[in-house]
Structure 1
Amino acid sequence: MSTQGLLIVLSGPSGAGKGTVCKALLKECPQIQYSISATTREPRTGEKEGKSYFFTEKKQFESKIESNQFLEWAKVYDNYYGTPKDFVIKNLKKGKDVILEIDVNGAKQVLKNFPDGTFIFLLPPSLEELSNRINKRGTDSQEVIKKRLASAEGEISEMKNYNYAVLNDQVENAVEKIKAIIIAEKCKIDKIDVIKEDFKNDLPID
């Protein structure tokens, strides 16, 4: 079978449960490597270099943007965040599957830079349930919540650009579907790079 790992991109609207599902998936599949982001913000208490983030000087980050060293990047307020290409590619070449939990805009950049990735869109059961989840957080004003919900509708319309859609009605169900997707991806003909070599003498000649 293919020795190249899969790049799994998990995205969806805010409140769909990306972080919860990703955490549950990694708990069940510890062999999957979570993609570590680079950032220019200062480390918070308990955060570790190379584990929580790759903490990077602003000038160095901007230099890496210029030399196209990120699969995706964004500037949030005064800080940059991005997914380093070298970290992802290094792990994929080792045969590790790498999962990237990201928003829709970031996924667009990844699709452009790495179209061979497996793109999974995580859906909430309904917009009503999405609203309930965001409200339960208790961290946003009603005005912000309205903006998030309006944004979510636009993000859901981007689902057509993904390979798969997974309904997050129950975390356990969503995780099982993602595990099945990974298995299916690894069985695709274009992912099986040794069949022709191993069986070439047994294959019929046209």
Structure 2
Amino acid sequence: MDSRGAQRSSPGLLFVLSGPSGVGKDVLLDRMKASDLPYHFTVTTTTRPMRENEIDGRDYHFVTPDRFKQMIDGDELLEWAEVYGNYYGVPKAQVVDALGQGRDVVIKIDVQGAATIREKAPGGVFIFLEAPNLQELADRLTARMTESSEALRTRIETAAQEMDQAPSFDYRVVNHSGRLGEAVAEVERIISAERARPHGDIFAEGS
């Protein structure tokens, strides 16, 4: 039996996967989920409209702005942020519960959110997924055809700024077009290597 991601009696580890929009975070996680290893993949809560082929509770938890505000006021979110006019947040309970069960938790989040989580969970492992260069990333965003030209320009400009944050992450993984399997394998190697290292507390005191 493959021991990667196996449930343990000791607390699990927290892995935060981040990177610019369009770099391939979703497809990479889909490939990891298909491996049937028992990682806990958090499901982000958002106020943005559901896209075609998305399923509530699988891709995101879709809520109204009023419900999201209730979650903020109730301290139900590990992290939340406004991104491109919509709100996104990571439910705290599912992270804490999974870690307590000895499961490794994988959070997919934007670069802004990763910085917030690092403040609250400095014992996490932070992985930056990137494209080979900005032009290739811009081409991927354009090919999605999910936004207006103005929104697309904003995403590309933001992506350029986010790429400058890569050196602050523990690991960097390049996702080359047509070579997704290599990026998945690299992330899983990182998880295996971190599991072999001693780790202290994940969360900062009071978080």
TM-score of the two chains, using structure 2 as the length reference: 0.78
User: Which has the higher Rg, Structure 1 or Structure 2?
Assistant: 1
Residues 152, 52 of structure 1: alpha-carbon distance in 2 compared, 3 angstrom cutoff? closer
Of residues 123, 126, 138 in structure 1, which corresponds to 2:145? Answer: 138
Question: What SS is found at the alignment partner of 1:189?
Answer: coil
**1:9–1:120 contact (8 Å) kept in structure 2:** yes
Show CA shifts across 1:42-99 (max 9, x none).
Answer: 8899845x55555667556434423533111124688643111111010011111111
Alignment correspondent of 1:163: 170
Whole-angstrom distance in 1 between the partners of 2:89 and 2:33: 21
Whole-angstrom distance in 1 between the partners of 2:156 and 2:64: 34
**2:127–2:169 contact (8 Å) kept in structure 1:** yes
Residues 132, 59 of structure 1: alpha-carbon distance in 2 compared, 3 angstrom cutoff? closer
Alignment correspondent of 2:77: 70
Of residues 108, 116, 135 in structure 2, which corresponds to 1:101? Answer: 108
Q: Compare the two structures and name the one with the higher helix fraction.
A: 1
Show CA shifts across 1:95-143 (max 9, x none).
Answer: 1111111111111111111111111000101112112211211233444
1:157 Cα deviation (Å)? 1.0
- Are 1:85 and 2:92 an aligned pair? yes
Residues 6, 132 of structure 1: alpha-carbon distance in 2 compared, 3 angstrom cutoff? same
- Are 1:125 and 2:119 an aligned pair? no
Alignment correspondent of 1:204: none
1:29 Cα deviation (Å)? 4.3
Whole-angstrom distance in 1 between the partners of 2:74 and 2:175: 37
Alignment correspondent of 2:120: 113
The one-letter code matched in structure 2 to 1:116 is G
CA RMSD of aligned residues (A): 2.8
Moved more, 13-22 or 29-38: 29-38
Question: What SS is found at the alignment partner of 1:95?
Answer: coil
Alignment correspondent of 1:198: none
Question: What SS is found at the alignment partner of 1:150?
Answer: helix
Residues 39, 151 of structure 1: alpha-carbon distance in 2 compared, 3 angstrom cutoff? closer
**Matched length:** 190
List gaps (5 residues or longer) in structure 2: 1-7, 201-207
List gaps (5 residues or longer) in structure 1: 192-206
